[in-house]
Amino acid sequence: MKPGVPLFITLVAACGGGNRPAPNRPAYASVDGALASVLAGDTSWHIGTNADCTNPSLKEMLSDNSSYHAYEATTDVDGDRHPDHLFALVKGDSGKFYWIPGRDEGFDVPRLFATVNWVREGGFVAQDGTIVFGRFYSDVSETWKWSPATRRLDPVPQDSTSGS
């Protein structure tokens, strides 16, 4: 055996030989960094703004409430006590919905969870792991709920939200 090899083996064994898990670091320090990563993939889409809305009822509501953003929401989706960010990418009437999980010091990679072909007519409502995107003053909506079993936002069947 070469000189120093026993010392090296002793040091590796004492340090755990790399068997320790790496610290769980977030992928992005800010929401802006996570948003930019999604936009870089296809520049023909943009982050939805209230100006994209074509629903007259929602437009009237938006004129009275400047704090509501139809295409973005912040809530604790997965129940880990970190605020998560939801947003819609818009291209024409098409929409892609993303969830950015919040972590201790930043945000994980954005996750696509749904698409719709009527994005300009609706808006997000999010609370306690349930996300609804719907046309205001209409029965048309899509709902997703956090599932601890699948660790994702799963669609909620329409008939289970009607209360009948």
Residue 11 belongs to some domain of the structure: no
Cα separations in angstroms, 135 against 25, 54, 105, 122, 128: 37, 10, 35, 4, 20
- Entry pTM: 0.81
Residue 13 belongs to some domain of the structure: no
- For 91, the domain range is 20-155
Paired with 99 in beta bridges are: 86, 111
- Each residue of 39-73: pLDDT tens digit? 998 999 999 999 999 998 888 888 888 888 999 99
What DSSP string runs through 1-23? --TTHHHHHHHHHHHTTT-SPPP
Distance of alpha carbon 63 from alpha carbon 52, whole angstroms: 13
- Each residue of 113-143: pLDDT tens digit? 999 999 999 999 999 899 999 988 788 899 9
The total domain count for the chain is 1
Residue 1 belongs to some domain of the structure: no
Residue 160 belongs to some domain of the structure: no
Residue 62 belongs to some domain of the structure: yes
